[in-house]
Structure 1
Amino acid sequence: MSFSFFSISFTNSCNLVSHYSSEIFIENVIDGDTFLSNDSKYRILGIDTPETYDSSSNFKPTSGPQYFYGTLAKEKARELLGQTKVDIEALKKDKYDRWISKVTMKNGLDFSSYMIKNGYAIVRYISPIKSSYFYYYDSDYIDHLYDLQNYAKINKMGFWSESNAVLKKIYPK
């Protein structure tokens, strides 16, 4: 059964903010934290996966461990999400016109939680502070994601098995 809920509200800066929940078919996984469906681009809430292309250098491929782990994250996202239906809660649009979204896979697993717990992503672009403009506010969800990230670090999951020097190459900013 599929359902849709749509509401519109205005923020203080008069930016249009929309929110809806629905079941969608994922047509194309762009990278570990972004995908396409029905001509809309979606950005997964609360995670950031390593980049395979550097936007600051005209989208040239990254290299070394950043490219390796970015490719791994993209492959895992394709395995879990590619060409399938998921439940999505699209929360708002970001400055790149992507829907910031919570994604639940058909087995009930939260995609962000999986990616962080297994060392494919770090916690990012979510805030415990309501007034944060760029980040989405969700204090309970961010605490949950940080708990999973700490688990991944302690258990050396995914890229957390690397040295601090390598981690700085994977996430240079």
Structure 2
Amino acid sequence: MQKAFLIILLLIPFIVLSQTISGKAVAITDGDTFKLLTKDSTLIKVRLANIDCPEKKQPFSAKAKQFVSDAIFGKIVEVRVLKKDRYGRYISNVIYNDTISLNYELVKQGLAWHYVKYSKDKNLQSLEDKAKADKVGLWQDKNAIAPWEWRDHKKKKVKL
């Protein structure tokens, strides 16, 4: 019995990794985070994988949030879960309108960075490179600050 329990515990991370969840996007927190209401009325917090949208006080933050709202709010989406983070959010790739990757679209529209620290997705990097070259969205600003640098700067400022 203990052996079976141990095996189940070891398999849980793999079950979550291969999970696909459908549900309605019921709240948009920001450009890369939203809440999903599943068919069984479970509310889960979803964080888009491999990208990072501007923080609230950064340029293009509101545009990223609005883009996500226009794309998925009130609609049924498919959430392809990669893992859960330390905050309990489902780190995921999100598909809307049956075939469109929300993660890719945000980068393509110049509303998010490819979060290279956590991703090796060559498609995301290509999309970012093209958006940058075409000066799309946040790439209109030649001094655009990545959200992780913005957050790091804010932390250092608070400590001073």
Which category describes the TM-score, using the shorter chain as reference length? 0.7 to 0.9
Q: Is the 8 A contact 1:87 1:106 kept in 2?
A: no
Q: What is aligned with 1:147?
A: 126
Q: What is aligned with 1:156?
A: 135
In the alignment, structure 1 residue 126 sits paired with structure 2 residue 118:
yes
Whole-angstrom CA distance in 2 between matches of 1:155 and 1:87: 30
In the alignment, structure 1 residue 42 sits paired with structure 2 residue 41:
no
Q: What is aligned with 1:96?
A: 87
Runs (5+) with no aligned partner, structure 1: 1-7, 53-61, 129-141
Structure showing the higher strand proportion among its residues: 1
Matches of residues 1-173 of structure 1 in structure 2 within 5 Å? 10=10, 16=13, 18-19=16-17, 20-38=19-37, 39-52=43-56, 62=57, 66=58, 68-124=59-115, 126-128=118-120, 142-164=121-143, 167-168=144-145, 172=150, 173=152
Whole-angstrom CA distance in 2 between matches of 1:16 and 1:87: 20
Structure showing the higher helix proportion among its residues: 2
Find the structure with the greater CA-based Rg.
2
SS at match of 2:100: coil
Residues 1:22 and 1:157: Cα distance change in structure 2 (over 3 Å): same
Deviating beyond 3 angstroms after TM superposition, the runs of 4 or more aligned structure 1 residues are 8-11
1:29 CA displacement: 0.8
1:107 CA displacement: 4.4
Runs (5+) with no aligned partner, structure 2: 1-7, 38-42, 153-160
Per-residue displacement from partner, 1:28-85 (whole Å, max 9, x unpaired)? 1110000002321000111110111xxxxxxxxx3xxx1x411110011100011100
Whole-angstrom CA distance in 2 between matches of 1:28 and 1:103: 15
TM-score under structure 2 normalisation?
A: 0.76
What RMSD over aligned residues (CA atoms) do the two structures have, in Å? 2.2
Identity, % of aligned pairs? Answer: 27
1:169 CA displacement: 7.8
Q: Is the 8 A contact 2:113 2:146 kept in 1?
A: no
Whole-angstrom CA distance in 2 between matches of 1:10 and 1:156: 46
1:16 CA displacement: 4.5
